[in-house]
Amino acid sequence: MKIGIVGFGNFAQFLAKAFIRQGHTLCATSRSDYSLHCSELGIHFFRDVTALFDADNDVVLISTSILSLSEVLRSLPLDRLKRPVLFVDVLSVKEYPRQALLEVLPEESDILCTHPMFGPQGAKDGWRGHNFMYEKVRIRNEGTCSNFLQIFASEGCTMLEMSCEEHDKLAAKTQFITHTVGRTLGELEITSTPIDTKSFQTLLQTKETMMRNSFDLFYGLFIHNRFARQELENLENALRQVKETLIQKANEEQEETQP
């Protein structure tokens, strides 16, 4: 397939290597100049998104940040599309891009919302066994859609078809909570000690991994997932409950020891 990538940051570069390995033809565009890196990978880099749309791709992959999605979609020269194209997003939230793509794209464009639940750090040794979520939002050309999904299936991903709403419910309880706990540990400034347990080392790794991500990603997971705020409140309530239980137990034991 011919795949055009809009937004060629670290995650798009990570995906592109597998696309190329499988024999697909790629072109890319981005706000930053990745022409040298693309040249090394055998990818045609366009400084102008219009040139990418003129390239007559089978698939246009949207790999922007969550916060920049709306601006990027508004900038797309959709009038340059020569034929119906499959648009795919790979953002970490799903209801938001689903609605945005439906509002912006022409009716004849197919839409596939996806979330590869892994990245360059966690899947550096391959994608086998990693989850890949998708929803066929509007698909008329099943062949192109199936060919794109096969990229991930052939790499050994666990393919999970679910609604964008269900994804966001689950992601708020898992991905968002993981980022929140990691950043909370960062605020605590926890560091390794001579008596670390394995469990504490796991917490350190979580902190370090989450703090390597941009705050914009964390904020995007919060502001563009309508279920995240409730999970944040649940986490606050859980911590409060744990604290109250400890204090109550301590008070009870103190009363028992008093004459």
Model confidence over 173-208: pLDDT tens digits?
Answer: 999 999 999 999 999 999 999 999 999 999 999 999
Q: Is the pLDDT of residue 259 over 80?
A: no
Query: How far is the C-alpha of 118 from the C-alpha of 151, rounded, in Å?
Result: 15
Name every residue whose Cβ is closer than 8 Å to that of residue 72 and which is 6 or more positions away in sequence: 6, 7, 62, 64
Radius of gyration of the chain (CA): 22
pLDDT above 80 (res 62): yes
Taking 80 as the threshold, does the pLDDT of residue 52 lie above it?
yes
Q: Does the pLDDT value for residue 40 go beyond 90?
A: yes
**Mean pLDDT, the chain, as a whole number?**
97
Find the mean pLDDT for residues 44-49.
96
The whole-angstrom separation of Cα 186 and Cα 166 is 29
Q: Average pLDDT of 216-222?
A: 98
List, in sequence order, the alpha helices (H) in 78-197: 95-104, 142-154, 164-173, 175-188
Q: Taking residues 16-31, what's their average pLDDT?
A: 97
Is the pLDDT at 257 greater than 90? The verdict is: no
